[in-house]
Amino acid sequence: MSTADKAGPRTLLDYLRLTTDFLAAKKIDTARLDAELLLGAVLGMARVQLYTNFERPLAREEIDRYRELVRRRAAREPVAYILGLREFWSLDFEIDRRVLVPRPDTELLVETAVAVLKGRADEPLLRVADIGTGSGAVAVAIAKEVPNSRVVATDKSQAALELAPRNASRHGVEDRIEFVSGDLCAPLHGREPFDLIVSNPPYIKSGEMAALDPEVRDWEPRLALVSGPDGMDATGVLVESALEVLMPGGFLWVEVGTQAVAVRECFRSNGYTDIRVHRDLGGNDRVIGGRKPA
C-alpha cells in the first residue's frame, strides 16, 4: 500500500502518476498524455487545469469513471474512440469505431489541397470531391478554409456516412458538403467535372497488418485500412478513374504509405502531368498528386 493509500483519498496528481505508470507497463508510449486526457474528460478540465488543481481529491464516482476509461485504454482502445472526439486541423471531430481516427499526417493532404484552391480564390465556385471521407474530417477542413468550394464527399461505408454529416453540421459547413454513398469515383459520374479530388484511401499492404499497433490493427475499420498485397488496389483504380470526372487541368491528390513509388508510377503511366510529392514531418513521401492534361 502506498503512502497515498495510508493518508486517505489520493489527489488528482496521485492518480495521474499511478495511471501513467500503469499504462507505461502496458507498453503504451503516450502513457502520460493519455492519463491526462482521460482524467481531463472525467473532470471536465483542460490539461493545463489539471496542474493548477493537482492537490484536488477525487470523488468516488470520479475515481470509478476514470478507472473504467483507463481500463479501456489498457486494452489498447484508441483514446479518440474512448473520448468520442479527435482534433484535426484545429477542429474537434466526433469519432467512433465506424471511421478511422484522423491523423496529423493527413493534415498535409488538406494543406496541399487548400493551397491549390486558394490560388483560385477569385472564382465563384470550386468543385471538390473527397473520396473515402470517413469522419468527414478532410471535407470539413477544406470547406472551412475555402469558402468558394462545394464538396462532394463519398464513402462506401454506410456506417461512416451516418457519422460524417454530423461533423459537417458541427462546424457549420453542412450546406456546402454533399455526402453520397459509393465506391471511389463511381458516385461522381454524371456530375459537373471537378476542379480537385482528394483522397486518403486504404493503402496498407495486407502483409503489413499484423505488425501494426494494436490500436490500429484491432480497433479501426479494416475496410478503410487494407488495400491488397501491394497496398494499391484502391489507389490504382482511383488514379485511373479520376481522369473521367476531373476537369481538364484539375488535380488529384492522394495520401500514401509505403507504396509511394508505385503510386508515382501509377500517376505517370495514366498520363498525369505536373506530378508532385509532399513529405511529412518524418521525411516520408505522404501526399502525391498530379494534374489531368488540359
Q: Which residues contact 248 (CB under 8 A, 6 or more apart)?
A: 292, 293, 294
End of a domain among 75, 110, 138? 75
Residue 80 falls within a domain, yes or no?
no
> Nearest Cα to 264, choosing from 282, 285, 244, 250?
285
Residue 181 falls within a domain, yes or no?
yes
Shared domain for 242 and 121, answered yes or no, is yes
Rounded to an integer, what distance in angstroms lies between the CA atom of residue 129 and that of residue 118? 16
56-72 pLDDT, tens digit per residue, is 999 999 999 999 999 99
Shared domain for 122 and 223, answered yes or no, is yes
Query: For the domain that residue 41 is a member of, what is the CATH number?
Result: 1.10.8.10
164-174 pLDDT, tens digit per residue, is 999 999 999 99
The sign one gets for the Cα dihedral 26, 28, 34, 38 is: negative
pLDDT above 60 (res 5): no
Global pTM reads 0.91
DSSP 58: P
Rounded to an integer, what distance in angstroms lies between the CA atom of residue 17 and that of residue 13? 6
Shared domain for 283 and 167, answered yes or no, is yes
Shared domain for 179 and 278, answered yes or no, is yes
111-158 pLDDT, tens digit per residue, is 999 999 988 878 889 999 999 999 999 999 999 999 999 999 999 999
Shared domain for 47 and 106, answered yes or no, is no
Q: What value does the mean pLDDT take over residues 26-44? A: 96
End of a domain among 23, 45, 75? 75
Residue 218 falls within a domain, yes or no?
yes
Shared domain for 114 and 244, answered yes or no, is yes
Please report the pLDDT score of residue 74 as a whole number. Answer: 97
Number of domains in the chain: 2
Shared domain for 228 and 176, answered yes or no, is yes
Average pLDDT, the chain: 94
Shared domain for 93 and 15, answered yes or no, is no
Shared domain for 226 and 116, answered yes or no, is yes
Shared domain for 37 and 140, answered yes or no, is no
Residue 71 falls within a domain, yes or no?
yes
pLDDT above 80 (res 9): no
Query: For the domain that residue 271 is a member of, what is the CATH number?
Result: 3.40.50.150
Shared domain for 156 and 226, answered yes or no, is yes
Q: Which residues contact 131 (CB under 8 A, 6 or more apart)?
A: 154, 184, 185, 197, 198, 199, 201, 238
- Residue 237, domain extent: 85-291
Residue 21 falls within a domain, yes or no?
yes
Shared domain for 97 and 7, answered yes or no, is no
For 90: left if phi > 0, alpha if psi spans -120 to 50, otherwise beta; the answer is left
Which amino acid belongs to residue 162? E
177-209 pLDDT, tens digit per residue, is 999 999 999 999 999 999 999 999 999 999 999
